[in-house]
Amino acid sequence: MRLKNLITAASIALLPIAASAAQIIVPVAGTGPGAGNSQWQSELTLHNTSAKAITASMKFHQGEEVSAAVALNVAARATSSIADIVKTQFGKESGTGAITIDLSDADAAKLAVASRTFNASSAGEFGQDIPAFRSTEASIGGDIVVLAGPSSATSARFNFGLYVVDAAKVNWEVLRANGTVAASRELDYTAGTHVQYNGGIKSLLGVDAADNDTIHATVKSGRAIFYGSAINNLTGDPQYVAGVRTREEIRINFAGIDLDEDGTVDLTDSDHDGVLDATISMATSLFPNYFRVVAAGENGEKVTFEIVNSSADAALLDNEGTVQLAPGGNLKGTKGELRLRATAAGSSSILVIPINFL
């Protein structure tokens, strides 16, 4: 076992801890004209379940451009609706982007956020509900987000996009109904970016859309929220397409975790899904925690590791999978996870280690 560095502290100053912050994200909202003579606007509705008013701030993310913050106040137990929010609150005559709402974690638990984006036409309003997400619900490294295209590529157009919570690398693929990959493209995105690909199968991936196309957005690193919209070309009626989080095929034999680095696997991945069967417990203290990840290629090849996401500060100390995890006191009593990319003989898989912070 590795000799751990000992730290002696004569005294420790206890400092006040600031209230933790939260972010609620509406991944797409817009205003102004669209294809087929459509005219779009978004409405945001907020309800406060608290006995006191909630104060927050909103920003609009369009591409890599971020608006100035706009104050948001919702009275106690009240409901507030903001019509055509992109125009009335952020001053845009035309544009599509994401809305972020920053507030305290305590207030976020008491604020219900709903949004609706609709096409206002002479025949009436045709709209879709777009859910709001906590930033912690974003897809992360190892996720494959599935966006199902329309059953008829001639009667409906298919737009899709993402809001980037943390700088991310994403591999986009379009799969035909028979499972063949028609095109792919890998892109890097900076944090806080919103991008929508209108007619994205053609505009992003360079091939004509076909019936029952499916988009795979594989998150290589970082965090992002994905969405889609299928819009009827005749009526302008949109249908929200949720991004469904799935996992990639596991090509690495994940034996498990050696907690005390004595050469014995203490916790296993017995069902070979890439997720440790048990949750490991890690202490929050001045001293870091150490353990070893044990894995091999399909035929016993040596594995290299890379940290993709971690709820606490983490580092790989060697080529044998030894991890140093240093959770701060703010994580005490919470749950998190560590995600590692394991690569052997040209194949990679994401390994997930659930953690309780004590």
Q: Are residues 76 and 48 in the same domain?
A: yes
CATH number of the domain enclosing 299: 2.60.40.60
| Residues 37-64: tens digit of each pLDDT | 778 899 999 999 999 999 999 999 999 9
Establish if 297 belongs to a structural domain.
yes
Domain count, the chain: 3
Q: What angle do CA 254, 275, 169 make, to 5 degrees?
A: 95
* Cβ atoms of residues 213 and 177 within 8 Å: yes
CATH number of the domain enclosing 101: 2.60.290.11
Establish if 319 belongs to a structural domain.
yes
Establish if 88 belongs to a structural domain.
yes
SS3 272: coil
Establish if 2 belongs to a structural domain.
no
Residue at which a domain ends, from 134, 168, 203:
134
Q: Are residues 31 and 108 in the same domain?
A: yes
Q: Are residues 263 and 310 in the same domain?
A: yes
Confidence band (pLDDT; 50, 70, 90) for 2?
A: very low
- In percent, the amount of the chain with pLDDT more than 70 equals 94
Question: How far from 261 is each of 12, 319, 339, CA to CA, in Å?
Answer: 30, 14, 19
Q: Are residues 103 and 48 in the same domain?
A: yes
Q: Are residues 148 and 214 in the same domain?
A: yes
Q: Are residues 25 and 129 in the same domain?
A: yes
Q: Are residues 107 and 192 in the same domain?
A: no
Does 111 have pLDDT greater than 60? yes
pLDDT of residue 8: 29
Establish if 7 belongs to a structural domain.
no
SS3 87: helix
In whole angstroms, give the CA distance from residue 117 to residue 38.
12
Does 196 have pLDDT greater than 50? yes
Establish if 6 belongs to a structural domain.
no
pLDDT of residue 20: 66
Q: Are residues 155 and 228 in the same domain?
A: yes
Higher pLDDT, 308 or 25: 25
Q: Are residues 219 and 169 in the same domain?
A: yes
Mean pLDDT of 3-28: 54
Q: Are residues 35 and 128 in the same domain?
A: yes
* Cβ atoms of residues 279 and 259 within 8 Å: no
pLDDT of residue 213: 98
Establish if 62 belongs to a structural domain.
yes
Instruction: State which residues form the domain around 204.
Output: 139-247
Residue at which a domain ends, from 212, 232, 247:
247
Does 125 have pLDDT greater than 90? no
In one letter, which amino acid is 116? Answer: R
| Residues 213-262: tens digit of each pLDDT | 999 999 988 999 999 999 999 888 889 999 999 977 777 899 999 998 88
Which of 22-31, 205-214, 347-356 shows the lowest per-residue confidence on average (mean pLDDT)?
Answer: 347-356
DSSP string, 183-241: EEEEEEE-TT-EEEETTHHHHTT-S---TT-EEEEEEEEEEEEEEEEEEETTT--EEEE
| Residues 127-149: tens digit of each pLDDT | 889 999 999 999 998 899 999 99
Which of 185-189, 250-254, 262-266 shows the lowest per-residue confidence on average (mean pLDDT)?
Answer: 250-254
| Residues 321-349: tens digit of each pLDDT | 999 999 988 899 999 999 998 998 888 88
Residue at which a domain ends, from 222, 247, 272:
247
Mean pLDDT of 203-215: 97
Q: Are residues 204 and 150 in the same domain?
A: yes
* Cβ atoms of residues 44 and 85 within 8 Å: yes
Establish if 13 belongs to a structural domain.
no
Does 7 have pLDDT greater than 50? no
Q: Are residues 260 and 339 in the same domain?
A: yes
